[in-house]
Copies of this chain bind each other. A is one copy, B any other.
Amino acid sequence: MSISEQYFPNEPKGPVVKSTEFPGPESKTQIASLNEVFDSRPVYFVADYEKSLGNYIVDVDGNTLLDVYAQIASIPLGYNNPALLEAAKSDKMIRAIIDRPAIGNFPGSDLKEIISDLLKVAPEGQDKVWSGLSGADANELAFKAAFFWYQGKKRGFTAQFSAEEDKSVMENIAPGSPELAILSFERAFHGRLFASASVTRSKPVHKLDMPSFKWPKAQYPSYKYPLSKYETENAEEDKRCLAIVEEIFKTWHCPIAGLIIEPIQSEGGDNHGSNAFFQGLRDLTLKFGALMIVDEVQTGVGATGKLWCHEHFNLTPKPDLVTFSKKFQSAGYYFHDPEIIPNIAYRQFNTWCGDPARMILAGAIGKEIVKHDLPALAAKVGSYLYAKLELLQAKYPTYLRDLRGKDRATFIAWSLPDAAARNKFLTDMKSVGINIGGCAEDSVRLRPTLVFEEKHADILVAGIEKILAGY
């Protein structure tokens, strides 16, 4: 029995489309009603989560859609997964919900186990974790850790703050509030709060009208596809981009405490970087004394065929900080260097320091992933799917341009001629019962759950072909 059959004996056999357009009439009515209390302009349809199951999302019009977008890449084990249901009904979870502790001051006696469960699925080389609440929060907490570390290195990790630092920080001026930077990349997405939006460079809508930190940006490689055909050109592209990073480190007007990068730029278009590019970055951060922060908010938790996408790169040494959220349903950063723990208490601190309820769920998710080796399943299904998409690409090259994600399991994307064609494709796919998402202006990204199997891939490929055949 396959894992989806084990979890979901009653999973639908395929999509059922009842509406002639999306959103369907009942969704439309509910979207209008919802708009009275909530900005519902971005709503695609209103879901019925009671009826959704496994890889299928059901909407209020009774449409049953194969979901390869999965709440913007954030449903790990399918809808209404029985293992998570059990975790949600546990006494531990119920207490975490109703007696939410300030875990920094008054942790419950179960906290060590809860955190240890998160550490069981830590990236290779990482053995500590700090908790937050969302991807943006995780990244900003990592920036704080990087700034504390950078100044600690200068000051001496055990040194106290000077009177001048204590005084100036209350005025938001140096030396207490120093000018320091985080280096990020064009087309990156790291969140939409103020520091995270400052390093996000994918679309104007994410940050327009927001004041920002004037931090440097480098270029993320733009490869030619298929990769196997353009090895020389793409190696040159790596060198070009690494030279830009080095130049910035050498010339930027203030110290750069850390570099943040996605192993695959997701929101920005599923842009990939090679092992050599990432090892080059690792070398540069060491050379210039900055921390390497790998943002695994979207790429983490199994979907690329490894628990953490950057593990594909075999970096030496391992990255300093690895941030997570989305499919882990909790958020935070992993790290290993004890000097990343601030020198005194209450520096990395807040009332809740994460949400134990969500951390308990993350532990349950991690346990299932390990037990069923779901990254390996994603790798197997991804290879199968990628091969089918290559065949489709040969038939419809215009609409399956720059197929990306070979050897990255189900983390697959491609481009269409332009934004209009892409948007039409996403909408059309609903008519064949598939909920699918985009990235950048002209691309499609597949982000199925970790219990997406070959039978689901077959339905997806048939749906794509049906739509493209009509173009």
- Name which residue of chain B comes closest to A297, CB basis: B351
- A463 CB to nearest B CB, Å: 19
Task: Decide if A215 touches B37 in the complex (CB within 8 Å).
Answer: no
Q: Number of A residues contacting the other chain (C-beta, 8 Å)?
A: 122
A179 proximity list for chain B (CB < 8 A): 211
B351 touches A326 (CB 8 A): yes
Judge whether A44 and B352 touch: CB under 8 Å.
no
User: Are A47 and B109 interface neighbours, CB within 8 A?
Assistant: yes
A265 → B minimal CB distance (Å) = 14
Indicate whether A40 reaches chain B with its CB closer than 8 angstroms: yes
Q: Please report the C-alpha to C-alpha distance between residue A137 and residue B133 in the assembled complex, in whole angstroms.
A: 9
Instruction: Contacts A172-B215, A208-B347 given; indicate if A133 touches B133 (C-beta within 8 A).
Output: yes
Residues of B with C-beta under 8 A to A194:
140, 143, 193-195, 213
Chain B residues whose C-beta falls within 8 Å of the C-beta of A212 in the assembled complex: 172, 177
What are some 26 contacts across the A-B interface (CB < 8 A)?
A: A34-B112, A42-B345, A42-B346, A43-B105, A44-B105, A45-B106, A47-B101, A47-B107, A48-B108, A50-B95, A74-B352, A79-B99, A80-B98, A81-B98, A85-B94, A133-B133, A140-B193, A151-B209, A161-B204, A177-B207, A178-B209, A180-B211, A205-B344, A205-B346, A326-B351, A355-B358
Is A72 in the interface zone, CB < 8 Å from B? yes
Residues of B within 8 A of A173 (CB): 214
Contacts of A310 in B (CB 8 A): none
Residues from chain B with Cβ under 8 Å of A214 in the complex = 172-173
A152 partner residues in chain B, CB cutoff 8 A: 209
A91 vs B5: C-alpha distance when bound (angstroms): 24
Contact between A109 and B177, CB atoms less than 8 A apart: no
Contact of A209 among B57, B111, B148, B329 (CB under 8 A): B148
Query: For A215, what are the chain B residues with a Cβ–Cβ distance below 8 Å?
Result: 172
Is residue A434 within 8 Å, beta carbon to beta carbon, of the partner chain? Answer: no
Which residues from chain B contact A81 at a C-beta distance below 8 Å?
Answer: 98
Contact, CB under 8 Å: B329 / A169 = no
